[in-house]
Amino acid sequence: MPNPSPSAQTRPTAENREPLSGLVERVTYHNAENGYCVLRVKVRGHKELVTVVGHAASVSPGEHVHASGLWEQHREHGPQFRATFLRSAPPTTLEGIEKYLGSGLIKGIGPVYGRKLAQAFGERVFDVIETQPQRLIEVPGIGPKRIAKITRAWAEQKIVREIMVFLQSHGVSTSRAVRIFKTYGADAIPLVTENPYRLARDIRGIGFKTADTIAERLGIPKDSMIRARAGVSYALLEAVSNGHCGLPEDDLLKLAEELLDIPQPTLVEAILLEVKEGSVVADTVRERRCIFLMHLWHAEREIADRLTVLAEGEPSWGLMDSGKAVPWVEEKLGIALATSQREAVAKALVSKVLVVTGGPGVGKTTIVRSILKILAAKGVTVALCAPTGRAAKRLSETTGLGAKTIHRLLETDPANGGFKRGAEAPLDCDLLVVDETSMVDVPLMAALLRALPRQAALLLVGDVDQLPSVGAGQVLADIIGSGAVPVARLTEIFRQAAESRIVTNAHRVNAGRMPDLEVPKDGDSDFYFVAADDPEIGARKVVEIVCDRIPRRFGLDAVRDVQVLAPMQRGLLGARGLNLALQEALNGDGSKPSIEKFGWTYRVGDKVMQIENDYEKEVYNGDIGTIVGLDAEEGELAIDFDGRLIPYPFGELDQVTLAYATTIHKSQGSEYPAVVIPVAMTHYMMLRRNLIYTGITRGKRLVVLVGQKRALALAVRTSDEGCRWSKLRELLFGRTEPSL
């Protein structure tokens, strides 16, 4: 059944929801994984059967459903009821009982025995099955084996129903209740009652706030120790979302007090208990006692340990004469390396671990190509990887060798949420090259180094002046800052790159200088600034530039080739507001199939981005795709990611967002033919030099800044002093030991 048109979809609120109840005649569709269902229901006062769509752990013909939601007018199938709450109950009429028993829900009973049981016991049949199952032998054809099967299946269904009623009565939505039941099974009620905060840890899509609401309904006091202890991890996760691996204890206490409204003495005790239990770790960073989430603390130590071991000794290819190798590769590639490049190549040939860093146009790619060409002649086995699909594709194109995303190189293991490659199954290579290393966070770098054989060499390539990773830590900056491994820092801009105003302006910004905003007299440029002092005017100009001016002037496709990069999500010039405006302008055709979920309308043809790693789908944070299909009966979208068609059940659409506009943070590791960057004083909280620098360096052929010069000036003169709290630099430097 196709989905209703967007005009019919109004997000239900407590004020506008309507009740509905009736007998389920037919289950048109039911997805057992997420509970999404399409039902045909006999409702009093309606001549025709009513179509009800919603979520239920299990539902069968003959059951009585109670629902609340909104009526919608479907353009093809007329009115239907979209339920935000849906609860089913065993039938009470003979007609319903017969349908229910004959539906196949209870193993051992089909349509034939369903009719026989209903005729034999009438409305008392459910009591007989539950309390006197031996009486079922009175029905011809039912023997001891079938009775045992029926009894077992009935008990399972009763547990499911009790769990769903319990969860729904404590404010859990039907779709989330299905997830909880799938995770905990028959133990759901005691586990949730004992500690509802475990939901935030165990169930994807349920955070601390949802668990907190459930806890409140269960009568758990706001200042209880169980809430305080869960709140410590919640506060640390808030810090992790800002890139920290941990926080100084006094900062953590202030943050937790603000988030939880719990007095600090209680929180101090909660931290002590969490440390004692091993959920968090206390350690010293920059002479301050810090609290870390356990997995991040371990990951940083593993990175330090493995880098130290890797750096020891000579590369597996032995000693090499760079005085002969460098001229040879220059001849083979038809290039002339600059002095700084020659030195970097020479370092790579004798080092087990090397970092190559520098901005755009300084020749990082040339160095990597040269190193790989020399080592290929020696028969060295090389593996190449990058954090994103786009970055890996670009690495393949520039080197002529196959490159993978880090996740694909490590072979994700959906069953365990980790990787198949590791210490027990290491990578088969003599040299691993990691591009765009500034994007790699602490957990991913730990996993990568865990899979690298001790005898292998490691080449880390990236721009340390870009924004650090979206995830926790600042791995590349910490490795460089520690002085523990050799670093080749390139600063010279080469002649061809210097002709690009994108490159020269990026370096001006990185040096704390305003970019040159004057357009050359001939009007031919790859860098423009469009003034807009008002956010509303700015938003209109962004849409006009993306949809009309860039395609007309430069022949680029507005959806495929142009990417809007905003400093933040909120506001008219934020990624969210611009996404809505650009979706309307570029894909506003109301006749296309669409679905409204999680605050977005998803429409066939929309450009979307994955916003979290999904190891089972092999789609990762930052991957961009296009919606190519929508099937309401199956309850799923089809999204094309670089030729891979991935199905998304409606209940999993919180993993994707519109991507006509995205944040600069999310664009890391990607390059686009053209980028449009709004810069306004409404973004003042986020305006930093490395943010604008990163945004500018995402554009290959064209960069357009839209907004206020004073906002741009503020960003350029504001360096990011807010250093992330991590232990890695000290661990590599060997200055301090942990004090637990």
> Which segments of 148-294 are extended strands (E)?
246-248, 280-285, 288-293
- According to DSSP, the residues that pair with 227 across neighbouring strands are none
- pLDDT score, position 383: 97
Contact predicate 333/469, CB 8 Å: no
Neighbours of 230 (CB within 10 A): 27
- For residues 705 and 712, is the Cβ–Cβ distance under 8 A? yes
Tens digits of residue pLDDT in 325-373:
999 999 999 999 988 899 999 999 999 999 999 999 888 999 999 999 9
- pLDDT beyond 50 at 13: no
**pLDDT value of position 175:** 63
Averaged pLDDT for residues 46-71: 86
Nearest alpha carbon to residue 318 among 372, 378, 407: 378
Residue 528: closest CA among 709, 714, 716, 702: 702
Give the rounded percent of residues in the chain with a pLDDT score beyond 90: 52
| Cβ-count burial 440-475 (b if 16+ within 10 Å, e if not) | bbbbbbbbbbbbbeeebbbbbbbbbbbbbbbbbbbb
Residues ≥6 apart with Cβ < 8 Å to 534: none
Whole-number pLDDT of residue 139: 87
Measured CA to CA in angstroms, residue 483 lies from 312, 431, 480, 523 at distances of: 15, 21, 6, 46
Residue 3 has pLDDT above 60, yes or no: no
Using 50, 70 and 90 to split pLDDT, how confident is the model at 264? Answer: very high
- Structure-model confidence comparison of residues 119 and 452, the more confident one: 452
Task: Decide if pLDDT at 14 tops 80.
Answer: no
CA distance 185 to 179: 10
For 260, the 3-state DSSP assignment is helix
The reply to whether 363 sits in an annotated binding site is yes
Domains recognised in the chain with CATH numbers: 18-89 (2.40.50.140), 103-170 (1.10.150), 175-292 (1.10.10.2220), 297-493 (3.40.50.300), 513-717 (3.40.50.300)
pLDDT of residue 737: 40
Q: What is the pLDDT of residue 597?
A: 82
- The strand ranges marked E within 319-398 are 353-358, 382-386
User: How many CB atoms are closer than 10 A to CB 108?
Assistant: 17
Q: Which of 491-495, 567-571, 725-729 ranks highest by mean pLDDT?
A: 725-729
Q: Alpha-carbon distance 360 to 505, whole Å?
A: 10
> In whole numbers, what is the pLDDT of the chain averaged over residues?
87
> pLDDT at residue 736 above 50?
no
pLDDT at 495: 63
- Quote the pLDDT of residue 634: 73
**12-26, 429-443, 461-475, 504-518: least confident range:** 12-26
The yes-or-no verdict on residue 401 having pLDDT over 90 is: yes
Tell whether 433 is in a known binding site: no
Residue 197 amino acid letter: Y
Contact 140, 116 (CB under 8 A): yes
Confidence label for 174 from pLDDT (cuts 50, 70 and 90): low
pLDDT at 306: 95
How confident is the model over 521-550, as a mean pLDDT?
Answer: 92
Give the residue from 578, 606, 613 showing the smallest Cα distance to 470: 613
| pLDDT mean over 68-89 | 81
Q: Could you give the C-alpha distances from 201 to 138, 192, 220, 281, 486, in angstroms and in order?
A: 50, 12, 18, 17, 40
Question: From its phi and psi, is residue 715 left (phi > 0), alpha (psi between -120 and 50) or beta?
Answer: alpha
DSSP letter (8 states) at residue 515: -
First CA to last CA across the chain, in angstroms?
A: 59
Q: Is 306 exposed, middle or buried (0-12, 13-18, 19+ CB in 10 A)?
A: buried
pLDDT at 150 over 60: yes
Contact 69, 50 (CB under 8 A): no
Per residue in 380-397, is it b (16+ CB within 10 Å) or e — as a string? Answer: bebbbbbbbbbbbbbbee
Give whichever of 149-158, 171-180, 425-434 has the largest mean pLDDT: 425-434
Residue 187 tokens, joined: 């133990």
Does residue 471 have a known ligand-binding role? no
| Rg (the chain; Cα; Å) | 30
- Give the C-alpha separation, 343 to 322, whole Å: 9
Instruction: Please check if 365 is assigned to a binding site.
Output: yes
> How much is the pLDDT for 5?
35
Question: In this model, does residue 211 exceed pLDDT 90?
Answer: no
294-303, 454-463, 641-650, 720-729: which range is least confident on average? Answer: 720-729
What integer is the mean pLDDT of 583-609?
Answer: 89
Q: What is the rounded CA–CA span in Å between residue 357 and residue 476? A: 9
Please report the pLDDT score of residue 704 as a whole number.
Answer: 97
Sign of the torsion formed by the C-alpha atoms of 10, 15, 16 and 19: positive
What is residue 267's three-state secondary structure? Answer: helix
Q: What is the mean predicted confidence (pLDDT) over 494-502? A: 79
Quote the pLDDT of residue 618: 81
Give the pLDDT score at 735: 39
Q: Which of 481, 463, 389 is nearest to 732 (CA)?
A: 481
Q: What is the pLDDT of residue 112?
A: 84
Mean pLDDT of all residues in 410-434: 90
In this structure, are residues 401 and 393 in contact, taking their beta carbons and an 8 Å threshold? no
Instruction: Please give the C-alpha separations between residue 358 and each of 340, 442, 487, 515, 729, in angstroms, as whole numbers.
Output: 11, 21, 11, 19, 20
CA 501 to chain centre: 34
Q: Phi, psi at residue 377, to the nearest 5°?
A: -65, -20
364 has binding-site annotation: yes
